[in-house]
Structure 1
Amino acid sequence: MAAEAATAALINALNTNSLTSLPTIVANPVLANGDNKPTPLEEYIASIQTRLSAAPGSTFHLETIVPDTLSAGTRAAVRLRWQGTLSGPYAGADPASAPSDQPFETWEHAFIRTSTDADGGSNAKIVEITSVLDTDVLREQKPSLPRLVRAPAAGAKLGVADLKALYEAYIACINAHTTDAAHLSSFCNPTVAHNGQELDLTSYGRLMSDAQAAIDGLNFGIGDLVVDEEGQRVACRIDFSGVPVREFGGLKPCGGKAVRFTEQVIYHLEGGKIRTVLSIVDLETARRQLAG
């Protein structure tokens, strides 16, 4: 499948520092990180080089890939683990704040779209990539992180249309401010593993209701949706907008200034309901907006 093959090629180029091969993998120009304005390929490569220079010899590991059943393999969501040792500051992380030469691990999610290709996808290029790095975890510079991806479970499975409908209804439930356990039970198992933490539905619902209380007018918008029928997974880039009125995730109210940011989430379903949630919220973007 085109998106899976292109993702594998991109990861190999990063891990071998073969950036000269990127023109065969990534289109020129490319839509990068939610910017509707095409980015010249050399500019995109320069941003990667800056990152690799901050952590020479670092490696990227594919933890999971969610292929999109609806797009004939041209779209996918991926979860990566970035592992290395910082030689200089990057994304707010400073190696001076950690023991000398301490390695780090952090996570990254990305949505990838490739061109269609008549040759079974082998020559398809990445035309759009939207990624979010867990900068909060990076700043902690932990040498090892838990592996949170779950193996597929047996049990009832939903078809692709039902998976999409269930997820859209779940988001509508959140936007209606009905995240109590009774309502969430229509979409979720009795316990949900959220970024490795087992939560009952009351606690899980509080994650959403607390965010809505802290950010006035917070709306959960489906920006990009990937549905994997075989693996019983859904991945979504959620678009947020609103005005912070209480401190939340490092966001502080700033004279009524509004923010726009995203969350990239991968959901694993068991028995037709959400069981595991792997989430990265791009709070860094919102913090920059408030500081600017």
Structure 2
Amino acid sequence: MDIITAVGGDHDGLDGPVAARLRVKRLVAEGPCLRSAARQHFEYARHMFVFFTDNKISQIYDISDDDDGAEKPEGGQPQCIVPPPSLRPPPPRTSIDMRQFYADYIACLNSGELAEDLHQFCKPSGVVWNGTLMSVQQYADMIQASLDAISGLFFDMHTLVVDEPRQQLAARIEFTGTPVKPHAGGVPNGRQVAFAEHVFYWLEQGRISDVLSIVDWEEYRSQLAR
């Protein structure tokens, strides 16, 4: 494993949480584990929120996007994770209150008024979500699909870590709601679900420009299969 990006650390003289995006490399041998055996290289991402007490790890929340059931690339070509954005423009001279900005963003998602208000939080030219450039409307449609599939879907901001000089945020969001439509491989069973997302954001001129997200859809599906 190696650290791709990290946010957090000491905050207000306390041992603040650290959010990290990790790259996990895996080598898979085809057939007997011999030097001559063909090998495939794969990568997957882990998003971890690590909490400290007295400079020692006290709690960890961990979500990965590894899926052993996913189709593997042919020919031994490496499967690589999406890198963080590069060549960032300088932050604005007058920074926004990033914590309040994110609280307002979550309030917008919970209000369901995406068409009216989401553009206030996103870069006008679009948002790069997990390596894919989306218009603000496409980004809104993706979020709306989850709202439509999970009745009463509520976004609860469990943890927020801010790096103002780099205009970067990391958040653990905890979701609750009752699925009413098939979604993310899960079939509704009438029960409420609770699952989480670990997500990193980059801002440009006070608007979200890039997002790297891992949602714990495995936990979501497991609750619907019970």
For the 8 Å contact 1:157–1:232, the answer to whether it is kept is no
Partner in structure 1 of residue 7 of structure 2? 66
What aligned pairs does 1:175-194 form with structure 2 within 5 A after superposition?
175-180=110-115, 182-190=116-124, 191-194=126-129
Q: Share of identical aligned residues, percent?
A: 35
TM superposition shift of 1:68: 4.8
User: Where in structure 1 do 4 or more consecutive aligned residues deviate above 4 Å?
Assistant: none
For the 8 Å contact 2:158–2:171, the answer to whether it is kept is yes
Partner in structure 1 of residue 194 of structure 2? 260
Where does the alignment leave 5 or more consecutive residues of structure 1 unmatched?
Answer: 1-59, 89-98, 117-123
Which amino acid is 1:164 matched to? Answer: R
Could you say if the C-alpha distance between residues 225 and 291 of structure 1 is closer, same or farther in structure 2, counting changes exceeding 3 Å? Answer: same
What aligned pairs does 1:130-141 form with structure 2 within 5 A after superposition?
130-136=61-67, 139-141=70-72
Within the alignment, does 1:114 sit opposite 2:52 as a pair? yes
Using the alignment, how far apart are the partners of 1:137 and 1:149 within structure 2?
24
RMSD over equivalenced CA pairs, Å? 2.3
Partner in structure 2 of residue 102 of structure 1? 40
What aligned pairs does 1:1-292 form with structure 2 within 5 A after superposition?
60-68=1-9, 70-72=11-13, 74-86=16-28, 101-116=39-54, 124-136=55-67, 139-142=70-73, 143-151=78-86, 152-156=88-92, 159=95, 162-180=97-115, 182-190=116-124, 191-254=126-189, 256-292=190-226
Could you say if the C-alpha distance between residues 258 and 127 of structure 1 is closer, same or farther in structure 2, counting changes exceeding 3 Å? Answer: same
| Larger relative helix fraction | 1
Which amino acid is 2:177 matched to? Answer: G
For the 8 Å contact 1:268–1:275, the answer to whether it is kept is yes
Using the alignment, how far apart are the partners of 1:189 and 1:158 within structure 2?
17
Using the alignment, how far apart are the partners of 1:230 and 1:176 within structure 2?
30
For the 8 Å contact 1:228–1:234, the answer to whether it is kept is yes
Where does the alignment leave 5 or more consecutive residues of structure 2 unmatched?
Answer: 31-36
- Say how many residue pairs are matched: 213
TM superposition shift of 1:203: 0.3
Could you say if the C-alpha distance between residues 229 and 147 of structure 1 is closer, same or farther in structure 2, counting changes exceeding 3 Å? Answer: same
TM superposition shift of 1:137: 7.8
Could you say if the C-alpha distance between residues 114 and 141 of structure 1 is closer, same or farther in structure 2, counting changes exceeding 3 Å? Answer: farther
For the 8 Å contact 2:44–2:81, the answer to whether it is kept is no
Which amino acid is 1:108 matched to? Answer: R
Using the alignment, how far apart are the partners of 2:208 and 2:90 within structure 1?
14
TM superposition shift of 1:104: 1.3
TM superposition shift of 1:107: 0.6
1:170-213 per-residue CA deviation (whole Å, 9 max, x = no partner) reads 01001110112x51221110110000000111000011111000
